[in-house]
Amino acid sequence: MDFSEMFFGALTLIGGLALFLYGMHVMGEGLTSISGGRLERILERLTDNPIKAVLLGAGVTAVIQSSSATTVTVVGFVNSGIMKLGQAVGVIMGANVGTTVTSWLLSLTGLESSNFFLRLLKPSSFTPVMAMVGIILIMGAKTEKRRDIGGILAGFAVLMFGMEAMSDAVKPLADVPEFTGILTMFSNPFLGMLAGAVLTAVVQSSSASVGILQVLCATGKVSYSIAFPIIMGQNIGTCVTALLSSVGASRNARRAALVHLYFNVIGTAVFMTAFYSLNAILHFAFLDHAAGAAGIAVIHTCFNVGATLVLLPFARWLEKLAMLTVRDDGNETKDELANLDVRFLDTPALALAQCRRSAGEMAFLVQKNISTALHALTTYRQEDHAALVEREQKIDRYEEAVTDYMHKIAGRSLLEEDSQKLNMLLYCIRDFERIGDHACNIIEQAEQRDRKRIELPKKTSEELTQYIREVYKIVSITADFFVKEDEGAAKEVEELEDVIDRINKQMKKRNMKRMKKEKYSPEAGIFVNELSINFERVADHCENIAICFLGGGDLETEEV
């Protein structure tokens, strides 16, 4: 093989690798997008059942085709406090099992048969059709969902074309002594494991590195003695992604990433020790045979399934080992906005769900402040006022952080449905923040009334009590329907706002008459009038939230 052949072969190999990695990326993006975050949200509802956790982790990873994505999501859930560390252990184990599906798909490239039906299973036979269908959907589909399906098909086709290109490029290397010499070096278990770990850490995907190993099998020079330690190392290298994502995260998040590392390191140590001990006694003949793409998939699957079966009973020990590594020092405080984690931005629908969670917490803080402010109108206490101000500062932090996070989500590829939800949330949190501002105004009026000892006639007090009751009711229903996503309650808010409008008009009219007849002091009249204005605007903002919620974010809310 002369220099020019090696040079152009290397170019083909690089091009094939680029297509392979890009196809895997596009396919993964499409699968993640079409899942709409639903698969990841299933993980939030995990029980403490370890078997269920493993099955869920395997299922999610098999669908989105990335154990790294599943593990990073789990680290984010643990960092946010959504998932306990003990629950994360099972999911992480399951993710390792789920990633083996990719290696079986890639092993189809190794099919060799003259049988018509078997040839149809070979990727080179069906991927051209998939590519054409995918491109048609991407260019002609009117819905985002169909375009995502097109992306999945086209991505898989590109991935397989890249795989075929790499296979064709490496086949001539079988006759190059230098190349076979390098491969022979990796038959050393330690060097092979190190090579697998480094390759996976670089490409940030165990599926991709396993695919590259399957391509090298096309030379016929990769024996099972070479492949086995490399596969073991690949499982260790895939931990790098989760470890990097845990930098700067909470202690439990770092522990979750370490569980992933310990699982693979301990599993590798156990399997390599057992395998080479048995080989010393039984002298496995197959080790000298050339490995095929399907053989690589078998080893990869056996390791991950076997390691899970062996280590699942010791899940608690893995958790304790991670806790011993990252110890508590008593200084860490829970971040109230930890669920707005940058790790979720790669799954916009999931990130949007976390925004919804924070917006719900903000809504209940607003409800609490309105309750405190309204109660202060009859019984003012300085400590209640201070607590309200503290909550108002927290509400402002929520509004700023959630808005900033949603702007980041808006920069990602969103389904039309998710885009509408994002707009709805943006409008709603603005209105909730303004209701919080009115709560501050109301308690300041309560403080002023207490300080100046403003007295109101019995009839005015009774009317005010009814008004207070209706305002508290509309805010409570608004916060409740927003969190529970109850359309029926949202419609009730619109009806209640009409009731409050009538009460407000009557209140202002009677207040004006009483001021003219000097039935109470000007200060009392001003107090009632300003209070009515704040009550009316609180109700208006509640109605804005209801209208926006029912309209899906397409309506502009009223500026008040």
- Concatenated DSSP letters for 293-325? HHHHHHHHHHHHHHHHHHHGGGHHHHHHHHHHH
Q: pLDDT (tens digit, 9 = 90+) per residue, 170-200?
A: 877 767 676 667 767 777 888 889 988 998 8
Query: What are the backbone angles phi and psi of residue 414, rounded to the nearest 5°?
Result: -115, 145
Name the 3-class secondary structure at 223. strand
DSSP 469: H
Q: Which residue has the higher pLDDT, 424 or 554?
A: 424
pLDDT in the model for residue 110: 66
CB 295 within 8 A of CB 227: yes
% of the chain surpassing 90 pLDDT: 32
pLDDT in the model for residue 112: 66
Q: Rounded mean pLDDT of 338-345?
A: 83
On the question of pLDDT at 543 being above 50, the answer is yes
% of the chain surpassing 70 pLDDT: 91
Q: Residues, the chain, total?
A: 560
Q: Which of 420, 377, 404 is nearest to 528 (CA)?
A: 377
pLDDT band at 28 (very low <50, low <70, confident <90, very high): confident
Q: pLDDT (tens digit, 9 = 90+) per residue, 50-66?
A: 888 898 888 888 877 77
pLDDT in the model for residue 76: 84
pLDDT band at 29 (very low <50, low <70, confident <90, very high): confident
Q: Rounded mean pLDDT of 340-359?
A: 86
pLDDT in the model for residue 559: 43
pLDDT band at 331 (very low <50, low <70, confident <90, very high): low
On the question of pLDDT at 159 being above 90, the answer is no
Q: Which residue has the higher pLDDT, 125 or 499?
A: 499
- Concatenated DSSP letters for 321-348? HHHHHS---S-----TTTTS-GGGGGSH
Q: Give the CB-side neighbour count of residue 426, counting CA atoms within 13 A.
A: 18
- Rounded to whole angstroms, the maximal C-alpha distance in the chain is 109
Q: Rounded mean pLDDT of 299-316?
A: 92
Number of Cβ within 10 Å of residue 113's Cβ equals: 10
3-state SS track over 405-440: HHHHHHCCCCCHHHHHHHHHHHHHHHHHHHHHHHHH
Q: Tokens standing for 89? A: 């252990």
Query: What are the backbone angles phi and psi of residue 335, rounded to the nearest 5°?
Result: -80, 120
Q: Which of 351, 439, 441, 344 is nearest to 395 (CA)?
A: 439
Q: Which of 180, 165, 78, 72 is nearest to 124 (CA)?
A: 165
The average confidence (pLDDT) of the chain is: 85
Query: What are the backbone angles phi and psi of residue 519, rounded to the nearest 5°?
Result: -75, -15
pLDDT in the model for residue 40: 61
- 215 vs 164: CA distance, rounded Å: 8
Q: Which residue has the higher pLDDT, 475 or 166?
A: 475
pLDDT band at 86 (very low <50, low <70, confident <90, very high): confident
On the question of pLDDT at 74 being above 70, the answer is yes
Secondary structure tally for the chain: helices H, strands E: 23, 0
Dihedral sign (CA 444, 447, 452, 453): positive
Name the 3-class secondary structure at 59. helix
Q: Which of 23, 19, 28, 25 is nearest to 154 (CA)?
A: 23
Number of Cβ within 10 Å of residue 383's Cβ equals: 7
Q: Which residue has the higher pLDDT, 520 or 86?
A: 86
pLDDT in the model for residue 370: 96
pLDDT in the model for residue 519: 65
Q: pLDDT (tens digit, 9 = 90+) per residue, 480-520?
A: 999 988 888 888 998 899 889 888 888 888 878 877 776 66
DSSP 290: B
DSSP 387: H
CA 18 to chain centroid: 27
CB 163 within 8 A of CB 109: yes
Q: pLDDT (tens digit, 9 = 90+) per residue, 433-463?
A: 999 999 999 999 999 988 888 888 888 888 8
Which residues, in sequence order, are CB contacts of 108 under 8 Å at separation 6+? Answer: 121, 122, 123, 293
Question: Whose structure tokens read 């290109």?
Answer: 165
Number of Cβ within 10 Å of residue 114's Cβ equals: 6
Provide the whole-model pTM: 0.77
Gyration radius (Cα) of the chain, Å: 31
- 240 vs 477: CA distance, rounded Å: 47
pLDDT in the model for residue 468: 92
3-state SS track over 155-215: HHHHHHHHHHHHHHHHHHHHHCHHHHHHHHHCCCHHHHHHHHHHHHHHHCCHHHHHHHHHH
Q: Which of 400, 395, 390 is nearest to 340 (CA)?
A: 400
CB 201 within 8 A of CB 207: no
